[in-house]
Amino acid sequence: MIGTAKPGLDISITGLGCKVPDRVVTNEELSQYVDTSNEWIMERTGIRERRIAAKEEALSDLALPAARDALAQAGLTGADIDLIIVATVTPDMAFPSTGAIIADALGAKDAAAYDLSAGCTGFMYALAQAYGMLAGGLAQRALVIGGDVLSKILDWSDRSTLVLFGDGAGAVVLQAVPQQGFLAFELGADGAGGKSLWLPGSGSRFFEDPERFVKMNGREVFKFATRILVQSAEDILAKCDLSIDDVDVYIPHQANVRIIEHATRKLGVPSDRVVINVDRYGNTSSGSIPLALADALADGRLRPGQLVLMTGMGAGLTWGSALMRWTMEAAA
């Protein structure tokens, strides 16, 4: 599914915030749990450390500070927001939704609030949904949060998953702006690949003695990710009659440096236009792209007028891209 922005209505990101846990877990520390080393992890993933939530920390404990920072940057309060979407596969609990919990904490008393599950692509799906709600007149100001605490659903004796993931959350405010913002979205899913990355026993489907830990076929996920990052990017650019040469900042899902490097080579994106922070955070699932946006804004790589391409992919198997003209100035 692919579509361009509604003519005559410019919607963009006007506030951005992020939050990661305090605890830094290095590759050396992981070697206490599984047979691995810093060299082994760096060679295969490019990850050197990640943030891990404390026992008492849930998703909302990361999402709320990120949301408050995004609202402050946009010059808004919770009461100004009428739509909250939380993209996650690790909500505080099955219900009430983490969106509703956050709406209450922010004082967004009249906001529609809910969670969205699309794996690591969740933030891209949530951006597209929020844009559609604003463009359709159902909301005026949206708060979109992407975040996960995957450390709570990992098997800490499984090297194939333990070394990849980290915890974190990011939040953005979307509203109408005077200048061009979002240009297009491209979203898709291939449920046939669902068992390549899944959490059996986490819902109403019966499983015999499920472990309730993330299960991943790394080879299949790698093949999917390297293909779909390129395809989704090319499709959305073609829809807008643009090329990769027009892209100023490329923000791919931060899953693995090898996947990112493969995509950038195939697309022909110069390395200085690619945002990479997976080395410091690991794969934070729905938190990945907003955390990368925050890093790029903080270090001056995101400036008003630049063309920004974001592409995610993950469990489902799902994928999604967004193309936009950046409109926000960095915070002073």
pLDDT for res 331: 66
pLDDT for res 332: 56
CA distances from 236 to 13, 199, 208, 251, 311 (A): 19, 30, 42, 14, 10
pLDDT for res 7: 83
Q: CB under 8 Å to 309, separation ≥6 — which residues?
A: 233, 236, 237, 247, 249, 250, 251, 321, 322, 323
Amino acid at 251: I
Q: CB under 8 Å to 201, separation ≥6 — which residues?
A: 207, 210, 211, 212
Pick from 49, 42, 102: which is nearest to 78 by CA? 102
Second-level CATH architecture of 182-325: 3-Layer(aba) Sandwich (3.40)
Distance between CA 170 and CA 292 in Å, rounded? 9
Distance between CA 35 and CA 228 in Å, rounded? 31
CATH number of 6-176: 3.40.47.10
Q: What is the DSSP string of 268-303?
A: T--GGGB---HHHH-B-GGGHHHHHHHHHHHTT---
Q: 69 in helix, strand or coil?
A: helix
Please tell me whether the peptide bond between 199 and the residue prior to it is cis, using omega within 30 degrees of 0: no
Distance between CA 244 and CA 322 in Å, rounded? 14
Amino acid at 226: T
Identical fold for domains 6-176 and 182-325, yes or no, is: yes
Question: For residue 4, what are its two tokens?
Answer: 């361009």
Q: Domain limits of the chain?
A: 6-176, 182-325
Which ranges of the chain have pLDDT less than 50? none
- What percent of the residues of the chain are helix, what percent strand, and what percent coil, each to the nearest 5? 40, 25, 35
Q: CB under 8 Å to 132, separation ≥6 — which residues?
A: none
Q: Where are the beta strands (DSSP E) in the chain?
A: 2-4, 11-19, 24-26, 49-51, 83-87, 112-116, 141-149, 167-176, 182-189, 197-198, 215-216, 249-252, 307-314, 318-325
- Report if pTM > 0.75: yes
What region does 134 belong to: left with phi over 0, alpha with psi -120 to 50, or beta? alpha
Question: For residue 265, what are its two tokens?
Answer: 């080579």
Rg from Cα positions in the chain: 19
Question: For residue 91, what are its two tokens?
Answer: 């909500």
Pick from 218, 128, 212, 124: which is nearest to 165 by CA? 218
Q: Tell me if 311 sits within 8 A of 237, measured CB to CB.
A: no
Which residues are part of the catalytic machinery?
Answer: 120, 253, 283
pLDDT for res 71: 98
